Amino acid sequence: MSNSPLIEVCIDSVASAIAAEQGGAARVELCQNLFEGGTTPSMGTVYHALQRVGIKVNVIIRPRGGDFLYSDDEFAVMQHDIVGFKEMGINGVVIGLLNADGTIDIERSRQLIDLARPLEVTYHRAFDVTADPFRSLDDLIGLGVERLLTSGQEPSVLEGVELIAELVSRADDDLIVMPGAGINAKNLPRIIRETGAKEYHLTGSAMVKSKMEFRNERCFMGKALYPPEFSLKITDADKIQNCVHVLIGKEQR
């Protein structure tokens, strides 16, 4: 496993993939529906992202928002998605499956991992809602996944920093523990110092106004919270570059 510090950017569009690469990110996690924590993107989005960027593209395999206890049909969808994306030439998949008691679903996770190989496998923040983080870490090491994305079972990395540091120590070289949730250039130095992690996961997005000239602002396409129709969040290359510079500066000291 690489010892070089790097930034992974969580994205939901081709435009953000391009911006992440421009900012110096080493890898992206391509999703859709980031408002729900990320779900599986369309085949078209993945295909075109691969045509437009040269950095590594990992794809989340999550058929819906909500919990991580999946039906047989949902599991079948995940299997088909992995086969399709693997044929496209992605770098890796990002998965997370739990049992009803809050433990890692080892049997189904192993099936997806076997299906994905030789691609790399990241286990996502389903880990953060497991009942026992240390048992879960041991299970993931046993499954042979390359990476664990975690906020330390808290809403943000800063709040979960103590657990993350312990996970990094326990995992050692068996698995990469990658902090993610609420990371920016301002708090990244502290997170590096307190966790000792080598990889960091962030969005680094900024709101971009729609180019629509005519606007019917009485009508909304979303439900309940009414997400804005005339602006969208896209990765900001400058924000990513600032975080990359923080990592480079720490590495050179």
Burial classification of residue 37, based on how many CB atoms lie within 10 Å of its CB (0-12 exposed, 13-18 middle, 19 or more buried): middle
Share of the chain above pLDDT 70, in %: 93
pLDDT one-digit tens code per residue, 107-149: 999 999 999 999 999 999 999 999 999 999 999 999 999 999 9
Mean pLDDT, residues 149-168: 97
Residue 247 — very low, low, confident or very high, per pLDDT cuts 50/70/90?
confident
pTM of the predicted model over 0.85: yes
In degrees rounded to 5, what are phi and psi of residue 143? -75, -20
SS percent in the chain: helix, strand, coil, step 5: 40, 20, 40
Calpha distance 72→163 (Å, rounded): 33
Site of tokens 């900024």:
206
Mean pLDDT, residues 210-218: 85
Helix-helix angle 106-116:72-88, to 10 degrees: 20
DSSP-based three-state secondary structure for 240: helix
Which of left, alpha, beta for 85 (phi over 0: left; psi -120 to 50: alpha)?
alpha
Q: Give the tokens for residue 8.
A: 């992974």
Question: CB neighbours (10 Å) of residue 90?
Answer: 22
Question: Is a pLDDT exceeding 50 seen at residue 1?
Answer: no
Calpha distance 110→105 (Å, rounded): 8
Between 101 and 230, the higher pLDDT residue: 101
Question: Is a pLDDT exceeding 90 seen at residue 199?
Answer: yes
**What residue type is assigned to position 38 of the chain?**
G
Q: Are strands 205-209 and 231-235 parallel, antiparallel or unpaired?
A: antiparallel
Site of tokens 């690489």:
2
Q: Give the tokens for residue 241.
A: 């570059």
Question: Is a pLDDT exceeding 70 seen at residue 245?
Answer: yes
- Element at 52 (helix H, strand E): helix 43-52
Mean pLDDT, residues 37-41: 95
Domain layout of the chain by residue ranges: 6-252
CATH class of 6-252: alpha beta
